Amino acid sequence: MSADPVAIARDLLRCPSVTPAEGGALVFLEKTLKAAGFTTHRMTFSEPGTPDVENFYARIGTGSPHLMFAGHTDVVPPGNEAAWTHPPFAGEIDDGVLYGRGAVDMKGGIAAAVAAALDYLAAKGGKPKGSISFLITGDEESVAINGTPKLLDWAHKHGETFDHCILGEPSNRDALGDTIKIGRRGSLNGTLIVHGKQGHVAYPERADNPVTGLVALIAALKAEPLDHGSKLFDASNLEFTSIDVGNKTVNLIPGEARARFNIRFNDLHNQESLKTLLEKRALAAGGGKIRFSFEWEPSNADVFVVEPGPFTDVVANAVTEITGRQPILSTTGGTSDARFIKNYCSVVEFGLVGQTMHAIDERVPVNELVALTAIYRKILDRYFG
């Protein structure tokens, strides 16, 4: 099998795998890895109220240590395809740059991992010194219900155990090799509701305007930081993202006002402690005069961190050797499937540069794909060395 990451990436990009469509991407990976000696499995998971999602797992070797490469082949929609300079699902190369939806998030990372594994196996007579696996899902860009969580559960029930994982998300901020993600903040969504009394604006004494109370509580909740950061995390942040009173009549005081918000929190909190903290602050700000409540949305995005150690050293040293850069160990950014993987093994995120992910003309320089493959190849050598 060819270990050319550019050819593999182009084949993956030509699969229109917009969530939750498989689009041929998992079929291609199964064919490629099975030909290299991997035992492969494809399975579809379901949940009421959500689309069915196809997933893929492959492993070669039966011993330890066991290194897993994880990722997703689903992509976000391309948006206005006419705005692209190159078709989003054509996998075209122009002036040394590969264009396509998923080029960096994250079909390019998967292509580099597959190419590195094929090259490593070719050098070792087709057999690793331990085990190499690929855990690839199809709904990371959506609700992440029928993908990685269920695929990991399936693997666990079938006796699969992992020692370490590399998740090929586009971790780097500005240049390949500048960042390794060793953790993620948690994410919690909620709605603040202020309950008033509807009435005519000409007779405010007969009503209780919830907008006034909502503004006061928003200001109070934003006035003081949730914390000032921790050893490995930036400060937590609370951001209000919408305000709604459902009122289309200008001379009517509404009976209720709502504000949605999101909290990205560090390891100084958990979901329950945050709910308690916000309730306490709102009670103090309301002074018994503002009637309010919170609605909390279910969340599977808890905070986690992988303490630096031998595995992070292996990854960081490989990055430095190939790129000449000393990567920082970061916990910034949004959520990823690492929040599920960390329950099964130690996981770090390292992939391409993420500047064009989800953008029109998502793209990756070909030389960065080749360099990422060399990094993964170096990691395999050292991990099994």
In terms of C-beta distances under 8 Å and separation of at least 24 residues, what long-range contacts does 1-5 make, across chains too?
Answer: 1/32, 1/35, 1/36, 1/118, 2/118, 3/115, 3/116, 3/118, 3/119, 3/122, 3/373, 4/115, 5/108, 5/111, 5/112, 5/114, 5/115, 5/116, 5/369, 5/370, 5/372, 5/373
3-state SS class at 165: strand
Q: Is 105 annotated as a binding residue?
A: yes
Q: Is 279 annotated as a binding residue?
A: no
| Catalytic pick among 140, 256, 302, 362 | 140
DSSP assignment letter at 297: -
Dihedral (C-alpha) 284, 285, 291, 293: value to the nearest 10 degrees? -80
153 is catalytic: no
**H or E, element range at 380:** helix 366-383
Q: Is 321 annotated as a binding residue?
A: no
140 is catalytic: yes
CA 71 to chain CA centroid, Å, is 9
| Catalytic pick among 22, 30, 74, 160 | 74
Which parts are annotated binding residues?
A: 72, 105, 141, 169, 358
Which parts are annotated binding residues for Zn(2+)?
A: 72, 105, 141, 169, 358
What positions carry a catalytic annotation?
74, 140
